Structure 1
Amino acid sequence: MKKYLINSPSSRSYTQRVFRQVHPADIPFPSFLKSPKTCSVFGVPMVYGQPNHGTDYGPQMLRKFGLRGELEELGWTVRDNGDIAIDPPHENDPKPDSLLSGKTKNCYNVGKVCQAVHELTFYAASEGNFALTLGGDHSIGAGTVAGILKARPNTGVIWVDAHADINTPELSTSGNMHGMPVAFLTRLVEPTLFPGWDWLESTPPLHPAQLVYIGLRDVDPAERKILKDLGITCFTMQHVDRYGIAGVMERTFDQLYGRPLHCSYDIDAVDPLHAPSTGTAVRGGLTFREAHYLVEAVSGTGQLGSLDMVEVNPGLGSESENKETVEMALALIDSAMGSRIL
């Protein structure tokens, strides 16, 4: 427990001083957001979509390290709605068909949390606010994207992740729900077959043409087939090497041109050298500058209306590793919200 309670910095570290100058850039403001620009913040301390304790401390740590103050320095009016209450799974929770129950761990619990997240993000987006969701594990992406699509059906989704998160229950080898949100969103999974997920039927499905992956480098064989069969645009780390991150972003915007944008950013997309405290770290990820350029470019389109920052896990590393990961996540949020060096 002690290692979760890392101290917030009393003065900026070298990394913060050099790379986290909170300086609002003159970038276009999305026409679908209201003025003055308002950011609705939701903490979702979700831990039941995967096996590691600690993701529930992510929202707390991001706030402790100064999230609100930095957003306000960037000119945002901040409505911090706190953390949603999450009840633990119970033995008597409804379960899917017996053949699938072991393949969807905590299915009902995860589904009900995602339902609450979908309602909150839908409300924020419908009011014309920027929706910023702090995770928690990436299972909550099913809720955020569903809520955004319900409010802005034409939204393009940029899924930044080392993993595709598009396993179906039948194909999953772990049964962990944080590996399935995109399968639910694209309706590869029939929501009514899974207790706690009926609400998803009232939201628009995510069409493959609306989705772009960036940063993939650990994809299951079954997921590879799904991605190819659906024709989903995927930029792996090999593509980042080949085109450079600027080339990847240009190709991303070519596909999603004219759409409002939602960015779902799993911190494990970043190389563990810069963000070690996450549950499924994979070497060979985005460098510090690649990770920042990505969100700077998305922000610079003037079309970004919502953002998830997930899988920050202060329960996995040393105090210095936890601090580095939280600082990295916060710096990425700053860049997405308009911070620039000059």
Structure 2
Amino acid sequence: MDKKRISVIGVPMDLGQMRRGVDMGPSAIRYAGVIEHLEHLGHIIEDLGDIQITPAERVHTAETNLRNLEAVADGNTKLADIVNNVISNGDFPLILGGDHSIAIGTLAGVSQHYKNLGVIWYDAHGDLNTGETSPSGNIHGMPLAVSLGIGHPTLVNIHGYAPKVKPQNIVIIGARSLDDGECRLIKEKGIRVYTMHEIDRLGMTKIMEETIQYLKEKTDGVHLSLDLDGLDPSDAPGVGTPVIGGLSYRESHLAMEMLEESEMITSAEFVEVNPILDERNKTATVAVALMCSLFGEKLL
């Protein structure tokens, strides 16, 4: 296993949704020992601390159907700047969330460095809503659409360019809760999606083999965006939007192990850990264990 220089970035963002507590996710993940575990694997870790998130009045603007638009955009612009600098320095950015709206900033910072960035979206949800299709106006349900160049200009144009990723370079794994507008967009853009039906039917090994082959043929870097609600709530209870019938702890480890063996992941984020909703920091501990598999931990 290649030893990496990993820059850890905490993003205590809770403005992309309505449930409080996910802003404590980065602290919970650090408390679960992410730095120590990755150092034990031999990687060189620099913890850059947490991005300062501007307090907001938690507003829902009727004209846009977007909650906390300006504050979310501000936080993601800061994140994009830091991620861009980390990659420019030759380091691997590992982002700790925070709600999934932070993927807007992550991808804005990452995609500047790749002509054909691939994205693995490990999530119960598609996060492909816009202000027009979202039932809630929560921006954490929109980051993948935004990164495709679809959505409010304030979000789409962070760092001055769009789109950040092409639809043919995306694979969604674990989907089991999609809104009507998201289903239409998936079909329109031809986005590859492995729902729980395909995972149950084909098995995780086959899904990951297909995903790796599909992306290796067309990308020069791959970002992993892992939402802990992709896992079943029995394994990851501390998330804001749990959906039963999800990926198992063991399936998720296998996925991370296969991605590590593929040597294709060039950046990663782990999001939606909410310690207020958790059981003895179980979800943060799961997140750390999956990170360790992604970065090369083996039993023997």
- Could you say if the C-alpha distance between residues 204 and 124 of structure 1 is closer, same or farther in structure 2, counting changes exceeding 3 Å? farther
Q: Give the Cα–Cα distance (whole angstroms) in 1 for the partners of residues 237 and 227 of structure 2.
A: 12
Question: 1:77 Cα deviation (Å)?
Answer: 0.6
Question: 1:203 Cα deviation (Å)?
Answer: 5.3
User: Does the 8 Å contact 2:145/2:151 carry over to 1?
Assistant: yes
| More off after superposition, 105-114 vs 151-160 | 151-160
In the TM superposition, what are the counterparts of 1:142-221 in structure 2 within 5 Å? 142-191=104-153, 194=154, 198-202=157-161, 204-221=163-180
2:272 paired with 1:311:
yes
User: Does the 8 Å contact 1:153/1:204 carry over to 2?
Assistant: no
Question: 1:87 Cα deviation (Å)?
Answer: 1.3
Aligned partner of 1:279 in structure 2 is 240
Question: 1:122 Cα deviation (Å)?
Answer: 1.2
Deviations 1:150-196, CA, capped at 9 Å, x for gaps:
122322110000000000111111000000111111012252xx3x6
Please identify the structure whose Cα radius of gyration is greater: 1
Q: Give the 3-state SS of the residue equivalent to 1:99 in structure 2.
A: coil
Q: Give the Cα–Cα distance (whole angstroms) in 1 for the partners of residues 151 and 252 of structure 2.
A: 31
- Could you say if the C-alpha distance between residues 197 and 188 of structure 1 is closer, same or farther in structure 2, counting changes exceeding 3 Å? closer
RMSD between aligned alpha carbons? 1.7
**Counterpart amino acid of 1:175?**
G
Question: 1:253 Cα deviation (Å)?
Answer: 1.3
**Counterpart amino acid of 1:325?**
T
Q: Give the Cα–Cα distance (whole angstroms) in 2 for the partners of residues 197 and 186 of structure 1.
A: 8
2:76 paired with 1:117:
no
Choose which of 6, 19, 33 in structure 2 pairs with 1:52. Answer: 19
- Could you say if the C-alpha distance between residues 116 and 203 of structure 1 is closer, same or farther in structure 2, counting changes exceeding 3 Å? farther
2:259 paired with 1:292:
no
2:44 paired with 1:77:
yes
In the TM superposition, what are the counterparts of 1:91-130 in structure 2 within 5 Å? 99-100=63-64, 103-130=65-92
- Could you say if the C-alpha distance between residues 203 and 154 of structure 1 is closer, same or farther in structure 2, counting changes exceeding 3 Å? same
Aligned residues: 298
Unaligned runs of 5+ in 1: 1-25, 30-35
Q: Give the Cα–Cα distance (whole angstroms) in 2 for the partners of residues 82 and 120 of structure 1.
A: 11
User: Does the 8 Å contact 2:176/2:195 carry over to 1?
Assistant: yes
| More off after superposition, 38-47 vs 55-64 | 55-64
Moved over 3 A (4+): none
Q: Give the Cα–Cα distance (whole angstroms) in 1 for the partners of residues 162 and 280 of structure 2.
A: 36
Question: Quick one: higher RCO (CA 8 Å, sep 6+), 1 or 2?
Answer: 1
Deviations 1:25-76, CA, capped at 9 Å, x for gaps:
x4xx4xxxxxx62000000000000111111111111111211111111111
Question: 1:107 Cα deviation (Å)?
Answer: 0.5
TM-score (norm 2): 0.95
Unaligned runs of 5+ in 2: none
Q: Give the 3-state SS of the residue equivalent to 1:235 in structure 2.
A: strand
User: Does the 8 Å contact 2:32/2:281 carry over to 1?
Assistant: no
User: Does the 8 Å contact 1:149/1:155 carry over to 2?
Assistant: yes
Question: 1:204 Cα deviation (Å)?
Answer: 4.7
Q: Give the 3-state SS of the residue equivalent to 2:67 in structure 1.
A: coil
Q: Give the Cα–Cα distance (whole angstroms) in 2 for the partners of residues 203 and 300 of structure 1.
A: 31
Q: Give the Cα–Cα distance (whole angstroms) in 2 for the partners of residues 253 and 326 of structure 1.
A: 26
Aligned partner of 1:3 in structure 2 is none
Question: 1:197 Cα deviation (Å)?
Answer: 5.7
Q: Give the 3-state SS of the residue equivalent to 1:158 in structure 2.
A: strand
Q: Give the Cα–Cα distance (whole angstroms) in 2 for the partners of residues 161 and 322 of structure 1.
A: 23
Q: Give the Cα–Cα distance (whole angstroms) in 2 for the partners of residues 37 and 172 of structure 1.
A: 39
Deviations 1:122-175, CA, capped at 9 Å, x for gaps:
111122111100000000011111211012232211000000000011111100
Q: Give the Cα–Cα distance (whole angstroms) in 1 for the partners of residues 115 and 76 of structure 2.
A: 18
- Could you say if the C-alpha distance between residues 322 and 226 of structure 1 is closer, same or farther in structure 2, counting changes exceeding 3 Å? farther
Q: Give the Cα–Cα distance (whole angstroms) in 2 for the partners of residues 130 and 80 of structure 1.
A: 12
User: Does the 8 Å contact 1:164/1:216 carry over to 2?
Assistant: yes
Q: Give the 3-state SS of the residue equivalent to 1:182 in structure 2.
A: helix
User: Does the 8 Å contact 1:161/1:216 carry over to 2?
Assistant: yes
Aligned partner of 1:230 in structure 2 is 189
Q: Give the 3-state SS of the residue equivalent to 2:194 in structure 1.
A: strand
User: Does the 8 Å contact 1:115/1:197 carry over to 2?
Assistant: no
Q: Give the 3-state SS of the residue equivalent to 1:284 in structure 2.
A: coil
